[in-house]
Amino acid sequence: MNLTCIMCPMGCELTATKTSDGYKISGNNCLRGEKFGKEELTSPKRIVTALVHTDRGVTSVKTSVAIDKNKIFDVMKEIDKVHLKNAKIGDIVIKNVLGTGADVVITKSI
pLDDT band at 56; cut points 50, 70, 90: confident
Please answer whether residues 44 and 69 qualify as being in contact, where contact means their C-beta atoms are separated by less than 8 angstroms. yes
Nearest in space to 69 (alpha carbons), one of 102, 21, 27: 102
pLDDT at 81: 96
One domain for residues 57 and 95: yes
Average pLDDT over residues 19-38: 94
Question: Are 11 and 33 members of one domain?
Answer: yes
What pLDDT was estimated at residue 75?
98
Residue 86: how many other CB atoms lie within 10 Å: 10
pLDDT at 87: 83
Report field, pTM of the whole predicted structure over 0.85: no
Find the domain containing 37 and state its range.
2-42
Tens of pLDDT, residue by residue over 76-93, are: 999 999 999 988 999 999
- Residues 34, 63 within the same domain: no
Structural domain tally of the chain?
2
The pLDDT value given to residue 51: 96
Mean pLDDT of the chain: 95
| pLDDT at residue number 100 | 97
Residue 94 confidence (pLDDT):
97
pLDDT in the model for residue 110: 78
Q: How far apart are the first and last CA of the chain?
A: 44
